[in-house]
Chains A and B, each alone.
Chain A
């Protein structure tokens, strides 16, 4: 990664060589690359993903209209699970968790994206990847540990409150930051912030350093540069990162389970609660609704920004 700069300079020289050697077919050539994609073994990962990822998620739509039995479900067609979802407090919870998730996305963007811009703009190319790697460190510690440790940090007599009281910034301990939706938002931001940094970093690949210089030379101010130049160029990556955080905020049951109070319920928690209540069709309906939300968001994003642009650095 880091030495890419060194290679890039040579690439232009060897470009001609690549063109002149059209793929030569060798007998029994597999794993070497030239006609490898034709061998069945290379299809394994994709087949595996289709079998155990695409098919199960697609079938959630079918199972969500099955009829519920005492311990399982039986084939049929009923909208009972959807009616159950849309006419109970579950819908309110779902909409609330969407709202909180959106707030978490906004906070994570404001905190994290400037880091990506800073790293791309001010740090030499060789060092950039190393700085970004710093954000892998928290990600490498179990999500469980990072989330449950927020309890002793944020609770009434926890670290945050005692520090603030000792600094005489507050008189009463703050209680709204744990076992409330606010606590869930804090947990979401802390858990998913690295992803907006990574996504922003990838997105900023589309904004070369000289663009900043051009903006400066042409006299564009800071905000103008940001909104009219950086944001449109980096939009696909930012969008992908934001959707990631938004959907995970909706779907990770652990966050409201550990940090949220009675009111904090998201789609993931509704689904897992339905599973433990043996109401499988309802769980599948929630999954189907989540999948539809995700696909809708990705579709809108693709229409607006052409998400395939994100892939240009790795192709």
Chain B
């Protein structure tokens, strides 16, 4: 772990600093979790531990309705984004225009949410009007309300948001796969799909799994684009913000926030843990394979 020039005390100090920064970044979350266990809610002078608020989440209709919408959004976004990420990574590997492809697929990262959200909002409204006039010209109502603000527009906004992340994750995973294996499978007579599904996919599965988890969590946490594009319904984050900016947050919302944070941290923690173990196993295997060779 240390090279010969390293100083052990400095090394430990740097580690401490690194962990302190992570802790500082996490501190707001811990504080919310702390408040959620207080029987007297936020801002009270007293503190008594309780799990009561977690029990009452499920009878809070506003939160439960929002949660249902959020879950639906998350699942559908994931179902669309992850295959699209796979397609995009495949496209990237084979195209000659790599820089342009990456620029288009990654640039949503650099456009702030409010700017993209407002642009999409006006775009959808205009599209809707254009489609309606097209319908009027044709004398039917086929194209009415295609891009009415609502579930679908929110999904489109969320795909734009999540695709760059998913693309990167899948690309990194695919970098470890070697194409000769596909060629071997093809030479043995497997169809293209079969070569992908039976040979390549099992090897990139951990990455795809991580990408799914990412997509769900990112969608769950997204506020701005969803808020601008959602039309009528409420999601978890929009409920939080409207409570926050208006009457103040309810205890149930604190409990809900910490529960969502728990789940997200647990899922990502599990993925990190899994990749640790997997990496260690692969390393051990590689070492075991290399050992006899070295003995010669």
Interface residues of A (CB under 8 A from B): 1-4, 6-7, 14, 17-18, 21, 24, 26, 28-37, 41-46, 48-50, 52-57, 59-60, 63, 72, 111-112, 114-115, 118-119, 122-124, 126-127, 129-131, 133-138, 140-150, 152-153, 159, 190, 193-194, 209, 213, 216, 243-244, 247-248, 250-254, 257-258, 267-269, 271-272, 274-275, 280, 283-284, 286-287, 290-291, 294, 298, 308, 311, 314-315
Distance in angstroms from B215 CB to nearest chain A CB is: 12
Could you tell me if A3 and B286 are in contact, using CB atoms closer than 8 angstroms?
yes
Given A193-B25, A250-B112, A291-B115, residue A53 in contact with residue B160 (CB < 8 A): yes
Given A41-B87, A54-B104, A122-B6, residue A314 in contact with residue B221 (CB < 8 A): no
- Interface on chain B toward A: helix, strand, loop, or mixed SS? helix
Bound CA–CA A213/B4 (angstroms): 10
Could you tell me if A275 and B180 are in contact, using CB atoms closer than 8 angstroms?
no
Could you tell me if B109 and A244 are in contact, using CB atoms closer than 8 angstroms?
yes
- Interface on chain A toward B: helix, strand, loop, or mixed SS? helix
Say if the beta carbon of B59 comes within 8 Å of chain A: no
Interface residues of B (CB under 8 A from A): 1-3, 5-6, 11, 14, 17-18, 21-22, 24-29, 31-32, 35, 42-43, 84-85, 87-88, 90-91, 93-95, 98-99, 101-102, 104-105, 107-123, 125-126, 156, 159-160, 163, 167-168, 171-173, 175-176, 178-180, 182-183, 185-187, 191-193, 195-196, 200, 217, 220-221, 223-224, 228, 237, 240-241, 244-245, 249, 257, 260-261, 264-265, 267-269, 272, 275-276, 278-279, 282-283, 286
A-B pairs with beta carbons under 8 Å apart, 24 shown: A21-B180, A26-B186, A28-B192, A33-B196, A34-B183, A36-B192, A37-B90, A37-B94, A45-B85, A46-B105, A49-B105, A49-B160, A59-B126, A138-B22, A140-B268, A145-B240, A147-B28, A149-B29, A153-B31, A247-B110, A272-B228, A274-B118, A283-B122, A311-B102
Q: Please give, as numbers and ranges, the residues of chain A lying within 8 Å of B105 by CB-CB distance.
A: 45-46, 49
Could you tell me if A137 and B257 are in contact, using CB atoms closer than 8 angstroms?
no
CB closest chain-B residue, reference A73: B122
Could you tell me if A131 and B1 are in contact, using CB atoms closer than 8 angstroms?
no
Could you tell me if B268 and A137 are in contact, using CB atoms closer than 8 angstroms?
yes
The count of A-to-B residue pairs whose CB atoms sit within 8 angstroms is 315
Distance in angstroms from B125 CB to nearest chain A CB is: 7
Beyond the given A42-B94, A115-B18, A137-B22, could you list 5 further A-B residue pairs with CB under 8 A, ordered by the A residue number? A2-B276, A32-B185, A115-B21, A145-B261, A254-B224
- In the complex, which of the residues B6, B25, B240, B286 contacts A6, with contact meaning CB atoms closer than 8 Å? B286
- In the complex, which of the residues A24, A31, A50, A150 contacts B183, with contact meaning CB atoms closer than 8 Å? A24
